[in-house]
Amino acid sequence: MIPVFTAASGRVIAPDLIGFDKSDKPVDDELYTYGFHRDMLMAFIRHLDLWNITLVCQDWGGILGLGIVPDMADRFDRLIVMNTAIPVGVSPGEGFDNWKAFVRSQPDLDVGALFKRGMPYLSDEEAAAYAAPFPCQDHKAGVRRFPELVPVEPGMEGVEHGERARQFFSRDWGGKSFMAVGMQDPVLGLPIMKELQGFIRGFPEPMEVPDGGHFVQERGEAIARAALQHFQSQ
């Protein structure tokens, strides 16, 4: 995606959430909370003084990112949304519940194997690159915690932000929007994304990526080109 956006004279900023990739990885599992990540992202945006933002989000990028837009609405102009949700205290389904239970049983989760399972076309070298930031169990606190933090039960931290985001996007959002769906995603696939589409004012029909799984951004070049063409036509 990044080369497509930069070729179109865009500035691309891709933050790593704390606990992932090149960001710091605190080893205390309990440090990782919904509010911890949310506050970090909002501080990041303010620190860089970002405006005219196109939010490109997938999975937790949407769970967190879409949830902060109402609090910083004047900074966001466009959305590119992929395989995510705005949770409000209800599980997205059995697939998520099974995933959550699986991660809970795997404190030393094999990250490379996980990506290979979701994207079997990855080479061993590419899978190893995904796994490289997590050389041992201590580095995987963030990985372990993320499924536990999704606001899928009433009263969980983040439910109120999800409810507010749904109201904002259905009533007040006036920016441009684009959606792409990895059709092979067993958890956040087309049914969940069509539900999300219904909450966002002015959302067009989604781009369906037939061979895209949960990590649909691996098909990002085609998605980025389609999104830019859509924005330019509006």
Task: State how far the Cα of 136 lies from the Cα of 114, in Å rounded to an integer.
Answer: 15
Token pair listed for 112: 């490379």
Q: Which of 59, 77, 97, 211 is catalytic?
A: 59
| 59 carries an active-site annotation | yes
Task: State how far the Cα of 177 lies from the Cα of 6, in Å rounded to an integer.
Answer: 19
Compute φ and ψ for 108, nearest 5 degrees. -115, 55
Cβ atoms 90, 152 nearer than 8 A: yes
The torsion region of residue 33 among left (phi > 0), alpha (psi -120 to 50) and beta comes to beta
| 49 carries an active-site annotation | no
- The vertex-67 CA angle with 53 and 46, nearest 5°, equals 45
Task: State how far the Cα of 215 lies from the Cα of 208, in Å rounded to an integer.
Answer: 14
Token pair listed for 224: 């980025």
| 185 carries an active-site annotation | yes
Q: Catalytic amino acids?
A: 59, 185, 214
